[in-house]
Amino acid sequence: MCRALLYLGQPVLLDNLLFQPDSALIRQSTMPRMLHMLNLAGFGMRAWDPASANPDQAYSYYSQSLPVFDRNLQNLAQKIRPSCVLGHVRGVAYSTRVEISLQNVHPFHFANVPLVLAHNGDLAEFSRMKPLLLAHIKPEFLAQIHGTTDSEWIYALFVSQLSDPRGTLEEKALFGAIQDTLEIIRATRAQLGIALSSSVNLFVANGSQLAAVRYCFDFGCYRTEDPAKVHEANMNFLSLWYTLGRDYALHDGEWKMTGGAENADSIIIASEPLTKDTAAWVELPEYGALFAEIRNGRPHVAVRLLD
């Protein structure tokens, strides 16, 4: 499975999210603490830097090489201080049908749509679902699908459920689009008789707002003809955590944010906690969705349980 990270708040050195902490996103690609699977199929990122030219336009970085050895990414991470980040390390199970290419690296982004999306999970028998999903995807987005992943189709399906995917999101509209997307996938699976465990952890950002989803269809249902091939991702609910605070950096030899949630000006959401001490991290509930934006200098966070 993949690894992803979201950040929103005061500008922070990108290096402090990707490389330096105890379990930084890039470290998780080769030394995960949760879900022991290497992530070797590429790295992608969108990062919004308020001090850059045209700050509404994100830095865009995509590579199919191993991020732990990516010197260009390391140099970039040591120079920019974004206020919003969506980073993703792609992990895929070995298969001759899996394509390792730039068009399959997350996060996905369509022209003139501020929202970008990354996915951690895998929709079982997805190739059978495509013809039935076509009716629910707007032609302008269908034409922009260039890769071979289920994740990009989920992105196209999600933005198609928004009445105005090019504008600022309202909390209610975002939760509604997430719920509609999952309901369409669920109905399609039922129509085709697909009842295998399929995780859909989603990470969404537009530079000023974040959303995250922790979800799984038919959790615990897997093929049993060869038990040795059942991966732990089918046995455990994929993790998703968040923490709030301020001044995320190295404090007294320990990576953390200070001030606590009551004095927070920033939020981090990640597949697994970035720091050795996880006491300040909260696990997003199973079948939960989170929305976050900065209001009056503080992160407003809303969590809902999904059907």
Helix axes 126-133, 150-160, angle to 10 degrees: 30
Q: Give pLDDT, residue 103.
A: 87
Query: What DSSP element (H or E) covers 303?
Result: strand 298-305
Closest of 133, 147, 286, 109 to residue 212, by C-alpha = 286
Each residue of 100-141: pLDDT tens digit? 568 899 999 999 999 999 999 999 999 999 999 999 999 999
Tokens of 91: 């992990």
pLDDT at 232: 58
pLDDT of residue 58: 95
List, as own/partner pairs, every contact residues 55-59 make where C-beta atoms lie below 8 angstroms and the sequence separation is at least 24, other chains included: 56/114, 56/207, 58/84, 58/116, 58/207
Is-above-0.95 flag for pTM? no
Using an 8 Å Cβ cutoff, are 33 and 43 in contact? Answer: no
* Residues in the chain where the model's pLDDT stays below 50: 94-96
The pLDDT of residue 97 is 53
List, in sequence order, the alpha helices (H) in 161-279. 171-192
Are the CB atoms for 266 and 12 separated by under 8 Å? yes
CB 211 within 8 A of CB 178: yes
Cβ neighbours of 205 (radius 10 Å) = 28
In this prediction, residue 102 carries a pLDDT of 82
**Residue 91, pLDDT score:** 66
pLDDT for residue 98: 53
Give me the pLDDT at residue 36, please: 59
The topology under which CATH files domain 3-121+200-214+223-305 is Glutamine Phosphoribosylpyrophosphate, subunit 1, domain 1 (3.60.20)
Provide the pLDDT for residue 96.
43
pLDDT of residue 277: 86
Closest CA to 108 of 171, 166, 45: 45
Look up residue 305 and give its amino acid.
L
Q: What contacts 239, CB < 8 A, 6 or more positions away?
A: 34, 35, 214, 271, 272, 283
